[in-house]
Amino acid sequence: MDFLVTGLLAITWKQVVMYLIGIILIWLAIKKEYEPSLLLPMGFGAILVNLPFTGVINQYMEGVGEVNGILEWLFHIGIEASEALPILLFIGIGAMIDFGPLLSCPVMFLFGAAAQFGIFVALVIATLMGFDLKDAASIAIIGAADGPTSILVSQIFHSKYIGAIAVAAYSYMALVPIVQPFAIKLVTTKKERQIRMTYHPGEVSKELRIAFPIVVTFIVGLVSPSSVALVGFLMFGNLIRECGVLGTMSETAQNTLANLITLFLGITISFSMQAEAFVQVNTLLIMGIGLLAFIFDSIGGVLFAKIINLFSKTKINPMIGAAGISAFPMSSRVVQKLALKEDPQNILIMHAAGANVSGQIASVVAGGLIINLISSYL
């Protein structure tokens, strides 16, 4: 029984806090169904890495020497050494996305760009609050509403807050149905939310669907080389979907591959949730800045749509701008739900979907631009 007593006495109050955080994440995943494929493994992993003398991280054993822990090994190989897990996940994400609504209405590209406004607001706020420029940039990417991009940028900059950033990014992605309606109503009137938009879908040929991922990869590679890994793998997944000759592989990428990598990514990132590094005031600040980034993403997109309306005869429902964040398809569904609440016959889903998929591209490009910008100042 001595080993049990030794283990219990070795538990610190910070580790107890992490147990509670782990349980909360598991509860959110199961009870509320908030990003369960990520929050559940992250929550369980947070408990695993904070057990006294845990074998999932590297430990020194008397008479044996250093013994490698599986989660620490996965973190070093899958995230730290090559960022393989978040990048490979983009193959599955790309295979899930239908860019048809965007290609039939290319103007929606603008809303994807405008809805990254929160990233730059968060960068300024984090810098003013005293965070190191690399950490501030990593925190700001929470505003991309894109978990894998947040993890990737944090790792490239070797941020010591990668665990808190990952938790914030995925938690707020799950809370889009709560956060976005608040942000949208903050800067729109009921009359603006009732604006109807006629959908005139243009015909999108198979050739265009195939050419699109190739052209986007080439252009982004020239404009933002640091984004190539992210955009390239996203577009590669989409090319698998659209080529028409790899149906089985497309289904595998969308389901088996994406689910497995998401599972491994969630539990692997928990290595960075060790109590001593995670339980600190800065974690709360990061969560607060991340929330502001999400809110300003939506506000930026909405205000951009309102500016366009000043010069356009055909009015755009400003809520479409909020759908330009990367949280697909949640954001477009939120916009449609709000539209129906204001006007039961107002159908905006296709416009919102176009803006939403453009946000997928814009978020990874923004991540690359942040890497380029910050690197040039270091």
What are the residue boundaries of the structural domains of the chain, listed by start?
74-377
Q: How far is CA 254 from CA 118, 167, 191, 235, 257, in A?
A: 29, 23, 39, 13, 7
pLDDT at position 313 = 85
pLDDT at position 88 = 92
Q: Beta strand 59-61 with 65-67: parallel, antiparallel or unpaired?
A: antiparallel
pLDDT band at 1 (very low <50, low <70, confident <90, very high): low
Residue 147: is its pLDDT beyond 90? no
pTM summary value: 0.85
Residue 142: is its pLDDT beyond 80? yes
Instruction: Give mean pLDDT, residues 139-152.
Output: 85
pLDDT tens readout for residues 36-52: 888 899 999 999 999 98
CA 99 to chain centre: 19
pLDDT band at 158 (very low <50, low <70, confident <90, very high): confident
Q: Which residue has the tokens 């949280």?
A: 327
| Better pLDDT: 9 or 215 | 215
Beta bridge partners of 186: none
- What is the percent of the chain where pLDDT is above 90? 44
Indicate the DSSP class of residue 202: P
Helix axes 162-174, 281-311, angle to 10 degrees: 50
pLDDT tens readout for residues 173-230: 778 888 899 999 999 999 999 999 887 777 788 999 999 999 999 998 888 787 788 8
| Contact predicate 170/42, CB 8 Å | yes
| Contact predicate 119/143, CB 8 Å | yes
pLDDT at position 21 = 93
Whole-angstrom Cα distance, residue 214 to residue 234?
11
pLDDT at position 369 = 85
Q: Return the structure tokens found at 295.
A: 């809110």
pLDDT at position 46 = 93
pLDDT tens readout for residues 292-351: 998 999 999 999 999 999 988 888 999 999 998 887 778 888 899 999 999 988 988 888
Whole-angstrom Cα distance, residue 283 to residue 18?
12
Q: 59 phi and psi, to 5 degrees?
A: -135, 150
| Contact predicate 266/248, CB 8 Å | no
pLDDT tens readout for residues 275-305: 988 889 999 999 999 999 989 999 999 999 9
What DSSP string runs through 328-361? TTHHHHHHHHHHHHH-TT---HHHHHHHHHHHHH
pLDDT tens readout for residues 243-279: 989 889 999 999 999 999 999 999 999 998 999 888 8
Q: Return the structure tokens found at 115.
A: 């809805």
Helix or strand holding residue 200 (H, E): none
Picking from 243, 265, 2, the residue whose alpha carbon sits closest to that of residue 152 is 265
CA 292 to chain centre: 15
Indicate the DSSP class of residue 199: -
Q: 60 phi and psi, to 5 degrees?
A: -100, 120
pLDDT tens readout for residues 59-114: 776 666 677 889 999 999 988 887 888 889 999 999 998 888 888 888 888 888 89
pLDDT at position 63 = 66
pLDDT at position 277 = 85
pLDDT band at 376 (very low <50, low <70, confident <90, very high): confident
Whole-angstrom Cα distance, residue 294 to residue 144?
8
Q: 61 phi and psi, to 5 degrees?
A: -105, 130
What residues contact 342, with CB distance under 8 A and at least 6 apart? 190, 193, 194
CA dihedral 183, 184, 188, 191 (to 10 degrees): -150
Q: Which residue has the tokens 């995670």?
A: 278
Whole-angstrom Cα distance, residue 49 to residue 19?
10
Whole-angstrom Cα distance, residue 163 to residue 219?
32
| Contact predicate 14/22, CB 8 Å | no
